[in-house]
Amino acid sequence: MRGTAQLIICCLTISVFLSFGVACKRGEGQAAASPTTAAPPPPATKTAPPTPLAEKKAELGSDNNWNPDWDKVVETAIPPEMLSRQVPRDVRRFCPRFYQMTELDKRAFWAYFFQALAGAEAGMNPTTNVKHTEAETDVVDSVTHQKVHSEGLLQLTYEDQQRYGCNFDWETDRHLPPHDAQRTILNPENNLRCGINILSNQIMTLHKPLVTSTSYWSTLQPGTVSYRVFAKQMTNPPAACGLRRTAAPAHSAAKAAEVAAKE
């Protein structure tokens, strides 16, 4: 009897141990399946003012104008370092109070900046596709294996997909017409996000000024015609920038905007 009782107790002990182990495993599985920590909410954004070109295009009823939704695209994509004091000092030529502004106003400034850049580069037309004949740009794109075309709001190339991690897909786009809005490189969000990557590389990674002769864009190279067009578009940044406006630059900007709006 004593042996039988000991056997029963031993079996019960093993049963309890196994049940506990199964419960632990079940608990581990449930813990693993529990949802991860929620992603932080997107940063607050605000609509940037219109550039002189955007104002003129609105007057003329142009279909190719800056979409306020693109402000949000830019502002939510701006990396933290582009809101810091690490931004090159020459940013103050366009936004004197940049370092003193709130992050919300800094994001709005960058939205305005890219609006001006898109105006000078592509007249704000997101489906623009240009083949340049200048020697430095008359080369073969390593992705398309065709002569380089500058495309979209910021006049980018498929090579930028590899260089800057941009969301362009040549294998899909090659089957679509050159100006088809469905092309990934012509998608405004893709194009603007890529432009932010390029500018961040220039001013944060390479520690170059905002305006430099080695900028990706001739628009940000001092002394070029396109830079002068860009500079005239930078006369109406967010009020928080504290830029002192004068009648002469505003008049020149409006004149340049009228010419560009008719193109």
Q: What is the pLDDT of residues 224-263, one digit of tens each?
A: 999 999 999 999 999 999 998 654 444 444 444 444 444 3
> In the numeric block, which tokens belong to residue 50?
């219109």
Alpha carbon 84 to its chain centroid, in Å, reads 17
Q: Which residue has the higher pLDDT, 5 or 130?
A: 130
SS3 of residue 131 by DSSP: strand
135 CB-near residues (< 8 Å, 6+ apart): none
H/E stretch holding 17: helix 2-33
56/254 Cα distance (integer angstroms): 7
179/260 Cα distance (integer angstroms): 20
At 39 the pLDDT is: 76
116/106 Cα distance (integer angstroms): 15
C-alpha separations of 6 from 2, 11, 13, 162, 169 in Å: 6, 9, 10, 72, 72
198/208 Cα distance (integer angstroms): 12
At 19 the pLDDT is: 45
Angle, alpha carbons 115-160-65 (nearest 5°): 20
* Domain map (residue ranges) of the chain: 79-262
Specify the pTM.
Answer: 0.79
